[in-house]
Structure 1
Amino acid sequence: MEPRNQTVDLQFLLLKLTDDPGLQPLLFSLFLAMYLVTILGNLLIILAISSDPHLHTPIYSFLSDLSFTDLCLSTSILPKMLLNIQSQNHHISYTACFSQGFFVLMFLVLENCLLSAMAYDRYVTICQPLMYSTIMNPQFCFQFILVSLSTGIVDTMVHTVMLLQLSFCTDLEIPNFCELAQAIKPARSDTLINYILVYILSVLLGGSSLSGIIFSYSQIICSLLRMPSSGRKYKAPSTCGSHLLVVLLFYGTGFGVYISSAVTGSSRMSAVA
């Protein structure tokens, strides 16, 4: 089939998780429950932090921003996924797909940056407690959020602009939601530069944040080992456990999805992952 440039009537076909009609209600209920829990949980966190003056500290400010980012990320994906499960039409327009992919990637980058900021906050709290108010001042927190958001927008714009240069055929299949990296696969143009940018920027942004988290916690562990009081050794990790759990879930599932996608090479398996 002859490739053609992007037009407003170009559509992508979102792959279904299963072809079994009997499983559709179960999947719909599962994802709806996940979405409602996500909305409720994150809204409760945001409201609790904003309403309690004692929680107006950098770590809880980052936590509130993380909850808002997670809420936006889920809203970028799940409503359209729920609609597709319920309807017989699994197509999404070219513009809507790229818009969804834009917001998904932007919020992923922002969440990635926030996790590293929270790790740095834990490092300053435990390793440099006397300097905490000086280092983690409101101006620094605001500037960090602004830089993180700008980084996410610039990174997403680079991928989007490069993707807009590609040509596609009419039969376009991608996994269950639009992600800019997945939208490259059905292109009929040369995608080498696109993939190079994906890998370089992913390693640069994800690697730098993950390295910062590893460095922060390695310094925390060294500091805990030097503490003479056993009570402080038990108290300090308790403030880090929830953050570490989120880090493991975020990066662990991310690596798992992309590794499984690379190993299987199947769009259907990518959708399931």
Structure 2
Amino acid sequence: MTQDLTGYRVIAVHAHPDDESISTGGALAHLARRGADVLVVTCTLGEEGEVIGPAWQGLVADRADQLGGYRIHELQRALSILGARGTFLGGAGCYRDSGMAGSRASRNPRAFVNGGAEAVDKLAAIFDAERPHLVLTYGPDGGYGHPDHIHAHDVTHAAAEKSPVPRILWAVRLREELEAALPSSAPDGWRLPDPGELDAVDTTDTWVDLDDAAWNAKVEAMRAHATQISIAQGPHAYALSNGITQAVTRREHYQWGAGLPVGPGADLLSGIER
């Protein structure tokens, strides 16, 4: 592939290890293969996550509480597959996974949702140092409402006010494509989603068509997060610990968040001077 994006810098801001692969893995691999420098900023270690299968169940928060450290290993493997660099906001372990809304974890002083202005300043310092042309993160609802995702959105936009970036895009899933890509039956032990159960939107501003290399990189990066994601044989579908079947689509969709607008289907970096 031509290195036509050499000199461009892209930052993706994500809440937990695995979000980078599920939400933006195809775009990150695509941009990196075209020569862009890609950095993933992860805000927590994902300590409050559930674990798939018996092998690592003892690592969860209410047992050994070692899951976050293990997920660093999974993230490093995923980023190497995507061709991206990685860093943790404030350093590994600075902010803890806040858990779902109302959980006991959210009351921990180190919970990411309690980061406040300090977290904004830390991300603004990264923007100052890296000078990204493009920032990817979540929309205001965090995709599916996780407090850490919502806070990542808020912190990203607040940091961009302190250290302006040319464009912010929000990773989303297009409902029509997502539902069309679902298999007709669920793999053994999983179930198909109920109507409207999966987070998705009805319109988007632009998208990335994933060629085989980018799509395979996304799937393999997701597979690297084995405590969190199961990949169906194929692979054409995946499930988290809830066993709900989801599709790995051949497009990743984005909505405009701030900065320079982007046209329908336009390259994510279109109109931004190198």
Same fold (TM over 0.5): no
TM-score, length of structure 2 as denominator length: 0.24
TM-score, length of structure 1 as denominator length: 0.24
The structure, 1 or 2, with the larger RCO (C-alpha pairs under 8 Å, 6+ apart) is 1
Q: Per residue, is there more helix in 1 or in 2?
A: 1
Q: Per residue, is there more strand in 1 or in 2?
A: 2
Q: Look at both structures and tell me which one has the larger radius of gyration over its CA atoms.
A: 1
